[in-house]
Structure 1
């Protein structure tokens, strides 16, 4: 059970009620999945969505780790009776990882030189140096006022460094110039006590010689004791200065103030490690010098990559005057003027040697974590964009074409269910003209008459696309060659799964089959490939493997839940990624349906196939089209069936007659059925379009002739095209010309986009207006009028035969 302080802290972070947090965490502990909680438990969790539930669970783990560290600290301090009860209480109530270590720091054993000075009795001298002068009542009142103001200032600084950096980054401009770098962080466990010790006695004595005035000498003289190793006043003063410096380095309040100052006012600068000519793509980073509050996650990733390649290193600066004032104030006010030089020297030494080096590590750790979060967010979004690539739509046979390095073609035809129906057809292209190739294609494919062709976006295939279109036109074949991603294609074709599925085919033929299936159902085919092999970006190498793996698992689970599947047709690898299920559960479902198909959702929890938690989490995403219960073919959860029936009855129709009729809930209100707005939207959508696939569908784009002169194209003309490649800086679109058109990232969307791969994927059909026709054709996807809506009869509304919008993940 989650502790109350953790619940209250999480509630503040996520701006919700502690009871909602408790409910969400209890459901997670019970084995329920985040997609189920976010979709079907709105009221219990305060409308937290799926991604928020995941973040909530992750933050709970971090606080539990903090609790374990707190327990270790408390066990150590309980053995020391000298630790004040107030200090123990502050540790028990602390919910910030850095502050917790700061609170523990004063109770740890000091470094040897400081301990030696204390053993020699120099602690009393240190106290005399910081003792306040006697004051009259008026000065005392002023001092109390100052102290009160200081306390209020300290209270204002209670925000954690994580929050300070996060808020500053959120307020920072989104431009490229606003972003700055980061360096690999050391562990947060390294604290001041682990710092390098003060410089040797010779240097210490030399450093105090110029501040040793007669009054100081008089104060230090009683502490001179050759028997204890203190031979003169300079040695006594040096020892006292070490003690004071160590005290400042361990002061939790000083450390907290400086850490927040670093986060808010620090300046991060870059120091090149190579010449400009050797910096390559990192050249723009070599002169960066930006405030910490303007650091952006995507720029931190770029700088981390540059550091990994040993192109540059980074430093964090803080105004020494501003910081020194805070440190000096911690030594006390109204001290004797004769001691001011010593105290300033102590404050400067503590700042430079004990505070800033260690606190900088904390800041770097926060920056690293923020960069990690940005990398994981991008990887998740890129994978999601790839998995949710539009489907072919109508169920039809498809011919996949793999193009080798010589330009020759390997063609395999699959039926509407993805089953191979033709042998491998090899076409040697060479110098053949379009008419010859067209005749050969007609002769080879005539028996199967595929409804579409699938071509990869690899370089050889892109070079062959124009020749293929010309051959199809010459042969009178009215079939469009769609482009699909080649990500992970070779990995799948050479995998154990491919050998099991397509063992009788050679590798080029397996690749052709996979291309055809990727056009029919991209998600189902891409799930056969390890996400690490999909080429999602260099960010994979900058983040821990465990975090990358967790992110991929969560993204896949979210996508499969978003689409759902037919439990009697979906393959095992698709079922295994559904919320609440795993390989073993998927295997049991497949084995059971091979004996006899499922006829209802209730059968899924019979015969020990699924546990109650698995059934509860997954059942809404497993559709049963042959069930006697019509609602089993929807994405509604069985617990929603009663309210669904009441809604349809209120509309004057039975479940059999009213389900699947758009507008069947017109005029009804969710509040009349005690249903919250989010659930009502889902409910009405499913009653109108039960089991509809939320993915978009492909349509045949209208491309311009290849022999069109780009110069003749007018600005702002609307063109259709197929995305052939996506990079961080933009996308390339095949509009029919020999050279692909370019869409810069600034022209991809009206809103700010950090990486084009988050919004577009290979194979998408887009509409863009011409920005510039001279040289490479450049397009803009912003403010482009929508294409006319096709006639209802051409959109494929048959749920079982009409395809992508209704069929869901078929397998």
Structure 2
């Protein structure tokens, strides 16, 4: 049996020594961001993606080993742990394989098979299996008894008991289960139907009312839709091999039943017990194996679909968190509304709240001019440069208001930007927002959040529960623990990739820094409030409960951007490596301040000239790069979509209209784009590029500005079909049978299996098994 380290090394295609080193660091309490950035020599340069995969596999494989030990102990205590069984258990590589092996020995409620064994019927079952020439009724008559505990009244009762024994035996054979599972994975079809009288209630699932698809071909988003429909009682589903056109009428005509018969050496030669054994095989398949295996496979499908949904959510979240910040500029945040007015909040260049108000430019009050005048006063008073407009109700109307303000007051030099406000209401009603702004109404807190989100999306979004940001795919249907764990990892990676200004960061942002938790983050903020700004990273050691290990993990990601005692404290160079920079400066007779940002000098350095026993070429190379661009921000340059004037609602759209928009969500089947009409349009995967696209994330990402063309508008269903293939017209696309508010798949043919002509099973294999059975 391979060690955990070797298995992970093979999967990641790296050296086992790298895996062993990484595991040791993780077990010692080091975080993935810290290891990937500051321990490259130790791990041989494993990056954060490799380390996250390693961490996940390590957890799975350790759970597998714990379960393996439990199973071995349980079977050993029963006195049934034979050498061959032990060897099989020790070599099992998945949890499914382990559970298949454990199935015959797993403590269970008293079954019909156990009762039959207690009645002494196992010899009858063995005899009929080994010698089908025996007459079942004649043999059964030998086992009748009138025992009070386990009576066998007649031959039928004896044969029923013998059947129960064989059914358990047949259904608990690990190698057979593995073969059947593989066969079903390859050839099974999932059939979905609408529940009786649920057509109207479940209209959103109508695409699945009469639906079939090969099990192996079901994409994650369709699988999750089916599971949601089942959970809501709208849909029912089954999994089985689609029969040939003539159907499987006899007990052993089903390919899987034939596989069971072949595995146990049962043939239909017309002998006395053959008909009875055929019935046992048929019942074993229909009652035991099909239910067990279809449940397993559907559970596995759900797990894979959930894992993919979590992956998609994580990628979208990462794109949003690493979206370009508008920067340190005074900003007005507008939370649009109609009857209740537009909530206004002003924040300074650091995001600190300054002022608030409510304006009523829209119906029913229509105070347009007064609203512009009030915004102009606030903009001039606080030297505002940006206007952030939430993209909710009345957003386009409010965007028009901001545009009019800019036209009337060009001297203010304002820029307006539409901001995705998903989750702002969650933040405004949160405990943290209440502590931060105890005297502000929740609606004004929302406007503050919108303004800050424009200035620095990462710093603001970390305050919101990730699942509320609105970039997921069936996020409420997936395993919430796994989702939370994955999203937390994404946030941790993003925050540490960008770095955090120690004197500006909020508690929610600080607690995402490597090595920190909520308690220590709170202590940092309290220390900052009591003692003033930090002047050096070393002062972190004065914070309550922030020990040496925490300092090691966090210090490199915490920056002191201004008023620092050591210029290296503003960089991503870890304090433990300051000696390397000092060595570079000393050997070149320079001051540290003078070499920071001196590209010509830094590019001339050879990293190998400054290595030590602790710091090798990878770390020295990173240090030189960091000195070249200290505190560099990995996020892209800020830019915004130009929404088209006069296009404010879905009714304003027309076919072949070219618009600019912002990608709000990327799924497996395409990307949703905000084009400013209160309803995101869908660019189907087949419309993302002029070439085949297997993964939309390879073409677009959340927050990206894109140009799209309108293909079709379904006002009644509020669906907008868009394309990024700008050269193609809607008419041309319709001529090819594509392009609708519900586009087809990435290929020209639908993945659906027509119910009138079910997909055949592997006929060659079925015929082979049938021939073997008839011999």
TM-score strictly above 0.5: yes
User: Cα distance, 1:453 vs. partner?
Assistant: 0.9
Q: Could you list the runs of 5+ residues in structure 1 that have no partner in the other structure?
A: 133-211, 785-811
1:566 to 485, 501, 521: 501
User: For 1:727-767, what per-residue CA distance to the aligned partner results, in whole angstroms no more than 9, with x for missing partners?
Assistant: 866444558xx899956244556774777899555xx5725
The more displaced of 646-655 and 275-284 is: 646-655
Q: Could you list the runs of 5+ residues in structure 2 that have no partner in the other structure?
A: 244-252, 728-775
Contact 2:193–2:208 (Cα < 8 Å) also in 1: no
Residue in structure 1 matched with residue 557 of structure 2 by the alignment: 621
User: Cα distance, 1:392 vs. partner?
Assistant: 0.8
Matches within 5 A, 1:199-218: 215-216=134-135
Residue in structure 2 matched with residue 370 of structure 1 by the alignment: 304
Matches within 5 A, 1:673-752: 682-683=622-623, 685-699=625-639, 706=646, 721=660, 723=662, 730-734=671-675, 744-746=683-685, 747-748=687-688, 752=693
Q: In structure 2, do the counterparts of structure 1 residues 107 and 662 end up closer, same or farther at CA, with 3 Å as the change threshold?
A: same
User: Cα distance, 1:262 vs. partner?
Assistant: 1.9
Residue in structure 1 matched with residue 66 of structure 2 by the alignment: 68
Residue in structure 2 matched with residue 587 of structure 1 by the alignment: 522
Distance (Å, rounded) in 2 between the aligned partners of 1:650 and 1:778 = 63
3-state SS, counterpart of residue 413 of structure 2: coil
Distance (Å, rounded) in 1 between the aligned partners of 2:307 and 2:128 = 47
3-state SS, counterpart of residue 421 of structure 2: coil
Residue in structure 1 matched with residue 258 of structure 2 by the alignment: 325
**Are 1:256 and 2:178 counterparts?**
yes
Residue in structure 2 matched with residue 469 of structure 1 by the alignment: 403
Distance (Å, rounded) in 1 between the aligned partners of 2:509 and 2:32 = 18
User: Cα distance, 1:564 vs. partner?
Assistant: 0.9
**Are 1:389 and 2:323 counterparts?**
yes
3-state SS, counterpart of residue 424 of structure 1: strand
Distance (Å, rounded) in 2 between the aligned partners of 1:582 and 1:89 = 44
2:169 to 238, 247, 253: 247
Contact 1:772–1:778 (Cα < 8 Å) also in 2: yes
3-state SS, counterpart of residue 482 of structure 1: strand
Contact 1:414–1:516 (Cα < 8 Å) also in 2: yes
3-state SS, counterpart of residue 744 of structure 1: strand
User: Cα distance, 1:4 vs. partner?
Assistant: 7.1
Matches within 5 A, 1:287-298: 287-298=210-221
Distance (Å, rounded) in 2 between the aligned partners of 1:218 and 1:741 = 71
Distance (Å, rounded) in 2 between the aligned partners of 1:700 and 1:236 = 79
Distance (Å, rounded) in 1 between the aligned partners of 2:50 and 2:631 = 25
User: Cα distance, 1:544 vs. partner?
Assistant: 3.3
Distance (Å, rounded) in 2 between the aligned partners of 1:678 and 1:284 = 54
Contact 2:338–2:360 (Cα < 8 Å) also in 1: no
Matches within 5 A, 1:537-686: 537=472, 539-594=474-529, 595-605=531-541, 610-625=546-561, 626-642=563-579, 655-662=592-599, 664-666=601-603, 682-683=622-623, 685-686=625-626
**Are 1:81 and 2:79 counterparts?**
yes
Q: In structure 2, do the counterparts of structure 1 residues 248 and 670 end up closer, same or farther at CA, with 3 Å as the change threshold?
A: farther
User: Cα distance, 1:122 vs. partner?
Assistant: 3.9
Q: In structure 2, do the counterparts of structure 1 residues 288 and 687 end up closer, same or farther at CA, with 3 Å as the change threshold?
A: farther
Distance (Å, rounded) in 1 between the aligned partners of 2:591 and 2:655 = 55
Residue in structure 1 matched with residue 114 of structure 2 by the alignment: 115
3-state SS, counterpart of residue 723 of structure 1: strand
Distance (Å, rounded) in 1 between the aligned partners of 2:13 and 2:695 = 27
Residue in structure 2 matched with residue 345 of structure 1 by the alignment: 279
Distance (Å, rounded) in 1 between the aligned partners of 2:426 and 2:76 = 57
User: Cα distance, 1:451 vs. partner?
Assistant: 0.9
**Are 1:517 and 2:452 counterparts?**
yes
Contact 1:438–1:475 (Cα < 8 Å) also in 2: no
Matches within 5 A, 1:10-159: 10-108=8-106, 112-131=111-130
User: Cα distance, 1:643 vs. partner?
Assistant: 5.1
TM-score, length-scaled by structure 2: 0.78
3-state SS, counterpart of residue 421 of structure 1: strand
Matches within 5 A, 1:297-446: 297-318=220-241, 321-332=254-265, 338=271, 339-393=273-327, 395-406=328-339, 408-424=341-357, 426=359, 428=361, 438-439=372-373, 441-446=375-380
Contact 1:726–1:757 (Cα < 8 Å) also in 2: no
**Are 1:455 and 2:386 counterparts?**
no
User: Cα distance, 1:47 vs. partner?
Assistant: 4.2
User: For 1:466-504, what per-residue CA distance to the aligned partner results, in whole angstroms no more than 9, with x for missing partners?
Assistant: 233124313435312211122222233333433433334
Q: In structure 2, do the counterparts of structure 1 residues 705 and 773 end up closer, same or farther at CA, with 3 Å as the change threshold?
A: farther
Distance (Å, rounded) in 1 between the aligned partners of 2:647 and 2:95 = 65
User: Cα distance, 1:232 vs. partner?
Assistant: 6.6
Distance (Å, rounded) in 2 between the aligned partners of 1:91 and 1:351 = 25
The more displaced of 546-555 and 449-458 is: 546-555
Q: In structure 2, do the counterparts of structure 1 residues 726 and 471 end up closer, same or farther at CA, with 3 Å as the change threshold?
A: farther
Distance (Å, rounded) in 2 between the aligned partners of 1:676 and 1:598 = 31
Q: In structure 2, do the counterparts of structure 1 residues 19 and 277 end up closer, same or farther at CA, with 3 Å as the change threshold?
A: same
User: Cα distance, 1:697 vs. partner?
Assistant: 3.5
User: For 1:160-208, what per-residue CA distance to the aligned partner results, in whole angstroms no more than 9, with x for missing partners?
Assistant: xxxxxxxxxxxxxxxxxxxxxxxxxxxxxxxxxxxxxxxxxxxxxxxxx
Distance (Å, rounded) in 2 between the aligned partners of 1:361 and 1:26 = 38
TM-score, length-scaled by structure 1: 0.75
Contact 2:406–2:413 (Cα < 8 Å) also in 1: yes
Contact 1:327–1:347 (Cα < 8 Å) also in 2: yes
The more displaced of 663-672 and 471-480 is: 663-672
Contact 1:20–1:46 (Cα < 8 Å) also in 2: yes
Q: In structure 2, do the counterparts of structure 1 residues 403 and 23 end up closer, same or farther at CA, with 3 Å as the change threshold?
A: same
Distance (Å, rounded) in 1 between the aligned partners of 2:672 and 2:169 = 58
Matches within 5 A, 1:523-534: 523-534=458-469
Contact 1:106–1:250 (Cα < 8 Å) also in 2: yes
Contact 2:641–2:661 (Cα < 8 Å) also in 1: yes
Distance (Å, rounded) in 2 between the aligned partners of 1:266 and 1:651 = 70
CA-based RMSD of the aligned residues comes to 4.2
User: Cα distance, 1:612 vs. partner?
Assistant: 2.8
3-state SS, counterpart of residue 432 of structure 2: helix
User: For 1:660-707, what per-residue CA distance to the aligned partner results, in whole angstroms no more than 9, with x for missing partners?
Assistant: 244654466667777989767754542321111222243466666559
Contact 1:438–1:473 (Cα < 8 Å) also in 2: no
How many residue pairs end up in the alignment? 695
Q: In structure 2, do the counterparts of structure 1 residues 219 and 748 end up closer, same or farther at CA, with 3 Å as the change threshold?
A: same
3-state SS, counterpart of residue 288 of structure 1: strand
User: Cα distance, 1:270 vs. partner?
Assistant: 0.7
User: For 1:90-125, what per-residue CA distance to the aligned partner results, in whole angstroms no more than 9, with x for missing partners?
Assistant: 334434222222222333578554334434544334
Q: In structure 2, do the counterparts of structure 1 residues 734 and 100 end up closer, same or farther at CA, with 3 Å as the change threshold?
A: closer
User: Cα distance, 1:460 vs. partner?
Assistant: 1.7
